[in-house]
Chain A
Amino acid sequence: MTNLAPPRAGRDPVKVAARSAHARGRFRSRDYVGLLYAAPTAVIVGVLFIAPLALIGWMSLNKWPLLGPAHLNAPDNYVKIADDPLFVDSVLFTLKYTVIITVLLSAVALGLALLVQNRRPGIAFFRTAFFLPGAVGFAAAALLFYGMLNPEFGPLGFMDVKWIGTPNMALFSTIALVLWRFAGFNMLILLTGLQAIPVEVYEAARSDGANRWQIFTRITLPLLRPTIALMLILSVTGSLLAFDQFFIFTNGGPDNSTVSMVMVIYRNAFFRFDLGGAAALSVVLLVALVALNALQLRVLRGGNK
């Protein structure tokens, strides 16, 4: 196969270096134009990402009141994190939630994707139906479930089940909400991966006598690996940053059993007006997320080589 590809020009490193040195002399102004083309993006990234990030870092080193001047108190905001039992509990809870939701969401999404993978009459209806909950805003979806499962006013209230009344039921109901809302979206991601697998590979496997299970484990899953990696990273990051579902649907209850990390950050900032402490928590969470994603990418990519 490789010998069919045309030899690529200019891959010789010496030649490339020589050429760009030449270009630097002659087309210097072109470089500036290039920079200018990149400038709008750079400005947006700078204003919307780098600047807030730097501000958060700076806030986390200060006692930062709502109004008036801040003053440096580093590293108090970081030291007191360990003293906050609510945050420590929320870390454990968020990790537990992330594991459960990632496993279930992947399984359900993969199942749905396999169901609607092949073109057959009426398949568009099912694809749309599975994806449709993803078109509902997440906050709206959480409110929808809150209303639907309300024991007094909701249509499912007659079932006499305390949907958000006990810690386990509250977690269960939230997971149901998240699955309903996100399974279709993850299905779509997997579907694009599934359809990128060439039909010839399947045909070859079938003519070699592979059964359905073998095709699934030996062909579909390995070739789907990059797509699954993308879905896992989105799911893990999204779950660790979970907020809407717990804030709106369970309100952290009952008895603080469903308080996620971001809820603690929110509480510190906007109920306790401790903006510096909230910024410190955000920085810790950010560092943890970056590390986790780096690790995940490494593990998931590692197998491809």
Chain B
Amino acid sequence: MAKRFSAALAAGLLVTALAACGSTEETPAASGSAPAPDTGTTVTMWTRAATQAQSQRLVDAYNASHKNQVKLTVIPIDNYQPRIAAAAGAGQLPDIFAADVIFVPNYTSQGLYLDITDRIAQLPFKDSLAASHMKLGTYEGKMYTLPHTLDLSVWFWNKDLYEKAGLDPEKGPTTLKEFAEQATTVQEKLGKDGKVHGTFFGGNCGGCYVFTFWPSVWAAGGQVMDELGTKSLVNQSPMTDVFAIYKDMYDRGLSGPTTKEEQGATWTGFFPKGEIGVMPMPSTTLGGMPADMNIGVAPIAGPDGGESTFVGGDSVGISATTKNADAAWDFLTWTVSDEAQVEVMAKNKDVLARTDLSNNKYSAADPRVVLINSLVAKGQTPYAPRFGQTFNDPQGPWLRFAREAVFGDPAKLAELNVAVEKSLVQ
């Protein structure tokens, strides 16, 4: 009796164990030798919240016109890198995942993306794909990603506040010094009751500094790192000049009261409320600004002029562990097709992944969009294999450095720069 019971139990356990093993192997429609692309396969895709709107629009349009379906999961920005790392470690990456373009070199060097060099070579428009994104998606001569969304940093100024403050509402800043002067005027004329502020920036957010301060350095003809992304130049002019101007603005109370504490989750939330005169903003937010607000867009300039931008945004690739590479590629190529680029991206004032389409029927209607599109060629995307842990991580060395430069004692920067360099070559 007892023996029979134990045998039954053992068999039961064995079945459970086998079932558990089986489920990890199981994938929907495992592809053998090149199946037809549009056969009703479901592919999974992850993206980060920052570019959720664009990804969602692309996925919705694709799903509506194809049998294949893309299932999109959106992950909060702060958690994206750890989630990718955890999933990769567990062998559970989705079929497709987008990533902040600056993290891509790290992912490609870790082998998380599938090599798609041959597939990209067959695209007729391969030479018009956003160059900075393509460069960061290339590792040891092989290509792994396509541009997914482009998010450029630009200066927004609030024309309504400019008019009230007695500034010319049609004339935005053309140098960082002018930026500071105009912020001063707004603050002095309208900032008495504490509701309106001259400017704002994310003072406790490493990625915000990178995105909004670095273009001023590039515009002035300078650099923040060497070509290999292993030597830091942030303790030198023009980076130090840029910091000095922002420090002066903060010290004079031109920047909103929560500047120093802003961790990055809410830094773009103040401008649309009509509280800020002029500040750096992501271009992707232009489409979502209040309709009744008059906003000017200017390229980010250096202390004495020049124009540049941080060509940010997301790249997208197929995960190295996918079983649905063909279906995944079908979606990826569609996202950079004329149809998707013009009728989905351009229609919503987004920057296009292809330079050959930047003059289209939608962009012509808004000169600000034309301006933003034109900046893609002038801007830069910094390359460093250890970018995230150095510049974006809240515990990384860059945030300490930048906060000391803006709120603290610039004399300490030499020492903090050593920590930045150490992290870059780790």
Q: Which residues of A contact B (CB under 8 A)?
A: 29-30, 32-33, 36, 39, 43, 65-68, 86, 150-153, 160, 162, 164-165, 251-256, 259, 263-264, 266-267, 269-273, 275
Contacts and interface: CB of A to CB of B under 8 A. Distances in A.
Contacts of B86: 270
A66 B270 contact: no
B3 A270 contact: no
Contact of A32 (B6, B91, B258, B320): B6
A100 B370 CA distance: 57
B94 interface: no
Interface of B: 2-3, 5-6, 9, 13, 81-82, 85-86, 88-89, 91, 106, 110-112, 204, 256-258, 260-261, 263, 266, 269-270, 320-321, 388-389, 393-396, 400, 403, 426
Main secondary structure of the interface of B (DSSP, over half): loop
B409 to A, nearest CB: 12
A271 B261 contact: no
Contacts of A252: 394-395
Contact of A36 (B5, B269, B395): B5
Contacts of B260: 162, 165, 254
Max count, chain A CB within 10 A of own CB: residue among B13, B270, B394? B394
B5 A33 contact: yes
Contacts of A165: 260-261
B76 to A, nearest CB: 11
Contacts of B88: 66-67
Contacts, number: 93
Contacts of B89: 66-67, 275
A271 B6 CA distance: 47
Contact of B261 (A65, A164, A263): A164
Contacts of B266: 150, 152-153
Contacts of A263: 395
Given A39-B9, A67-B111, A267 B2 contact: no
A29 to B, nearest CB: 4
A177 to B, nearest CB: 16
A252 B395 CA distance: 7
Contact of B9 (A36, A151, A160): A36
A272 B403 contact: no
Given A33-B6, A67-B88, A273 B400 contact: no
6 contacts: A86-B395, A152-B258, A152-B266, A153-B266, A256-B395, A275-B89
A68 B91 CA distance: 10
A67 B9 contact: no
Nearest to B270: A152
A43 to B, nearest CB: 7
Contacts of A65: 110
A272 B81 CA distance: 10
Contacts of B395: 86, 252, 256, 259, 263-264, 267, 271
Contact of A39 (B13, B256, B257): B13
Given A152-B256, A256-B400, 7 more contacts: A33-B2, A160-B257, A164-B261, A251-B204, A270-B82, A270-B86, A271-B85
